[in-house]
Structure 1
Amino acid sequence: MGTLDAEIYDSIARSPSPLLDKTMPVLTHAADHSKLWMAIAAGLAVSGRPSLQRGAARGIVSLAATSLVTNQAAKRIRRRPRPSTGLIPVPRRGRRQPTSNSLPSGHSASAAAFAVGVAAESPPAGLVLGALAGLVGLSRVATGAHYPGDVVAGLGIGAAIATVGTRVVPPITRPSLSLADPTTVDAEPRPDGAGLVVVVNPASGDGRGRRVLDAIRDALPAAEVVVLDENDDIASVFADVAARASIIGVAGGDGTVACAAGAAIHADLPLAVFPAGTFNHFARDIGCGTVEATVDAVASGSVIKVDAVWLNDSRLILNTASIGAYPHFVRIRERLRHRISRPLATATAIFRVIRKEANVRIEVEGQVLDVSLFLIGNSIYQPTGFLPTRRLRLDDGLLDVRILETGHRWATLRLLGSLAGGRLERSRLYHEMQVPEFRFTTVDGPVAVSHDGEVEDSFTDAHFRVDYRRLKVYSPTRSPRF
């Protein structure tokens, strides 16, 4: 194999090619220190397409992990000197010949890791980058830096590490469901915001609500703005707004948005969501991740219908509901964040939750489950597993139910093994289903149910159902985003 490797290298070195002389040194220099992939990642990040942005992030993480493994481990396994550059035409030689171990090629490993990482989220972009990664590998041989075998080994290492990453953190993919086209609503364009009444929570998002307030007044001068006071009853405020508005607007966190959505449904009015909270999950998933996006939707009259979820026909849920560890975490964090910074409060809450298990026993379809994680989402979340982050559609008519059991022998070790091997979905301790309604009954008395980032009342019997395409919302796009 070594002889064949050397013969292939000699054949490439001896082949006269003005094209290789001009392109290969430039390409291999661009890939030094991963400059090429960093520049491409920056371009993908500002593309505005979620799949490309996710691909950029995954590609960079895969590249970083591959670089660490290649330089600190793989290059130490077997010493191999660099090939002689005597046969390489002078114009084609690299500017500076490396002196580190030749096996494997670090440039090739990084190239493959980035390309495969991007391909996991966006296959078309990954196809183009895969070809570019192959050319980078060729440039390492053509400029005399590596033998072909070094390049093949590097490509294999990079691709393998990126693939393992997709098993640990699954990529976001389109659900294999045939869904009806989005339901659009005829709405009058309102470029100045006439008829819009916006309720602003100035304290949301650690003060972001105040900045959003000024932006709304500048962009929509005819809109009425109502600023919430800490003593206001939010439900009463939105009921009053619904009685006189043509459009209900809200600028606040997900809890405030959920309250506004309830008023919009009861009054059969469209809802305009201006992101002013900490995470803005609902606003982001309907395409209103910025104030400008919502303003454009109101100005153009772009309205669609999305699902809402009812808990016991009384509590409206726009994002998720959960029991077990998460409500316990929220209570601790909210109690501490008024005394210490939010990051420190979050870290402290996580530590306390880990120390004190918050398992809950519930009965589902006649079966008793001891669960530590129970999550219900409005529409299907991506990716699968422990880290649901976003929804591609909010109008599929389904609940996304995820349950993690812990009441079994060696449950923690089994779950860690499944997670490390990328086989969580096949674990008998993890359940994931998509259904139009779901019910559970608690075994040991009432439990707190957290929804849309707020810890609300406790329940012994909880019934969740989808209200299919019931809520009208302003969205800058009338088609599914990916």
Structure 2
Amino acid sequence: MRRQFRRRFGRVGRFDAELVRRSGKLPPSRADRGIRLLGRAGDHSKLWFAIAALLLARKGAPRRAGLRGIAAIGFASFAASGVGKRLFPRRRPAADLLPLYRRIAKRPTSSSFPSGHAASAFAFASALAMEHRGAAAAVFPLAAAVGYSRVHTGVHWPSDVVAGAAIGVGAAYATRHWWPHQRDLPPGPQRRDTAPELGDGEGLVLVVNPGAGASGEAGAEVRKAWPRAAVIEFLPDVDVVAELTKKVENDEVRALGAVGGDGTVSCVARVAAEYGLPLVLVPAGTLDHFARDVGVQNLDEAQAASRAGSVVVCDIAEVEVSYRDDDTERVPFVNTASLGGYPETVRLREKLETRWPKWAAVLLATTRTLRSARPMRIMLNGHERLVWMLFVGNGPYEPKGFGAARRSSLASGLLDVRYLRADLPYSRARFLLALLTGTLSTSHVYRHAEVARVDVLFLDGHRRIALDGEVGPLGRRFSFRVRERALPVYVA
């Protein structure tokens, strides 16, 4: 029965054949050469990887679009070439259906169904549409042209291209399983409130980080949006927390603002929560996790919310770090804290960046850290544990596996705690296997809980913590808690 189905599916329909014949009768034109070159550019997704490289060179939404596009191409290529062509063998259109000048020199010998070129093209374009609509608007016509080029040069039937395009769109949406959008998450509890209407920015102090993502480009626009706001630049030799504290204590400050990435937001939020001031967010970093989870997408939305005085009241997490009983430090964070390999990777990367490009420093630091990783013996809420790493999030993250990405709410009153056990045989190998098979949530090496408080005591020495992607203080005891609804954020 399976063989009969494959044989029946491999037949070419009359509609397919008629469309190819009509395409073959088109008169010669200057577009023929361009279409052939476009089809060759789609070989092995060369065109899409080139566009992705341009997007990755820019931070913020373009970089997110490029990353999602590359991931979607991987899924689409596997589905189309690794699965589809093996399951559904189909002959290619006969070469004599097209004039000689339209044919390509080396005709593919694999199954005609589905079109791998179309799958990759539409996967990339659809993924871009989820992160950067402007880029997607430019790429979709290219994707359609690459799809048609496969029919124009006689290597695919039209239905092959349609099926490939459908696989590509599906592959792009499949990336949301590992990298969800805010609209993919169920709505969580939110608390709306009002705050001072800022108008032209009187009483607003803005911290602008010129080195974070698009902050340098956004600086002039921010000053136009709030012309009367005071501006502090986030520079290496400036203690931003001290400068903000001085401003708040000496001037009539009604709100604080952060123009940059999550590191900038974390510093400003620390002071805002301490003095009960609302926060203006202008996302201008690479990923902008906090701004995206709160629901602020750009400068226009931030300006509209500040003029209307509309805020969402958010939780802020806090960790008390103790190196000795008489030496404690309390540090807030808005996104995540982690203990284990990540803080060491960040610290080593910062040293290597003085001699290497950032991408090379990240690669070298990660490799060295993993090679020398040692399990951590800790007391976790009074229970002894042996773990490889521990993650604490400000609010429940989705999805529930290892790749925590988004939050549906920042007013849950809970911490998201995840760790990888090191007391089981082959725990790292089992972790990788579970990660690859999508079964991490049911794996014995992975643990997850949502609680209001977490206490961690290192039984062997001390460790450094990472907070919101930055290296934090060194300690032996770490006590995490949630300060519920301590941070009003302007959201339209």
The 3 A distance-change label for structure 1 pair 144 and 363 is same
Within 5 A, what are the aligned runs for 1:4-403? Answer: 4-5=8-9, 9=13, 58=68, 61-63=71-73, 66-67=76-77, 81-82=91-92, 100=107, 104-108=111-115, 151=160, 158=167, 162=171, 170-172=178-180, 179-190=188-199, 192-201=200-209, 204-205=211-212, 212-227=218-233, 232-243=238-249, 244-252=252-260, 254-275=262-283, 279-288=287-296, 290-312=298-320, 314-403=330-419
Return the offset for 1:175: 8.0
Q: Distance in 1 between matches of 2:127 and 2:261?
A: 32
Task: Answer with 68-77 or 301-310: which moved more.
Answer: 68-77
Aligned to 1:205, what secondary structure does the other structure show? Answer: coil
What are structure 1's unaligned runs of at least 5 residues? 23-28, 124-132
Q: Distance in 2 between matches of 1:328 and 1:64?
A: 30
What are structure 2's unaligned runs of at least 5 residues? 27-34, 131-142, 321-328
Equivalent AA in structure 2 for residue 267 of structure 1: Y
Return the offset for 1:188: 1.7
Q: Distance in 2 between matches of 1:468 and 1:76?
A: 54
Seq. identity, %:
31
Q: Distance in 2 between matches of 1:70 and 1:115?
A: 12
Equivalence for 1:424: 440
The 3 A distance-change label for structure 1 pair 55 and 465 is same
Aligned to 2:13, what secondary structure does the other structure show? Answer: helix
Return the offset for 1:328: 0.6
The 3 A distance-change label for structure 1 pair 188 and 77 is closer
TM, length-normalised to structure 1: 0.71
Count of residue pairs brought into register by the alignment: 456
Q: Distance in 2 between matches of 1:219 and 1:317?
A: 28
The 3 A distance-change label for structure 1 pair 316 and 107 is same
Q: Distance in 2 between matches of 1:160 and 1:201?
A: 37
Equivalence for 2:30: none
**Root mean square deviation of aligned Cα:** 5.5
Task: Answer with 388-397 or 152-161: which moved more.
Answer: 152-161
Return the offset for 1:137: 11
Return the offset for 1:329: 0.9
Equivalent residues of 1:328, 1:358 under 8 A apart: no
Equivalent residues of 1:250, 1:256 under 8 A apart: yes
Q: Distance in 2 between matches of 1:55 and 1:228?
A: 27
Aligned to 2:455, what secondary structure does the other structure show? Answer: strand
Equivalent residues of 2:343, 2:464 under 8 A apart: yes
Equivalent residues of 2:85, 2:114 under 8 A apart: no
The 3 A distance-change label for structure 1 pair 461 and 118 is farther
The 3 A distance-change label for structure 1 pair 281 and 358 is farther
Equivalent residues of 1:59, 1:113 under 8 A apart: no
Q: Distance in 2 between matches of 1:371 and 1:11?
A: 61
Equivalent residues of 1:185, 1:305 under 8 A apart: no
Return the offset for 1:342: 2.5
Return the offset for 1:245: 0.6
Equivalent residues of 1:283, 1:289 under 8 A apart: yes
Equivalent residues of 1:320, 1:376 under 8 A apart: yes
Q: Distance in 2 between matches of 1:170 and 1:210?
A: 31
Aligned to 1:381, what secondary structure does the other structure show? Answer: coil
The 3 A distance-change label for structure 1 pair 8 and 212 is closer
Q: Distance in 2 between matches of 1:144 and 1:324?
A: 55
TM, length-normalised to structure 2: 0.70
Equivalent residues of 1:109, 1:157 under 8 A apart: no
Equivalent residues of 1:379, 1:399 under 8 A apart: yes
Return the offset for 1:33: 7.1
Equivalent residues of 1:270, 1:471 under 8 A apart: yes
Return the offset for 1:241: 2.0
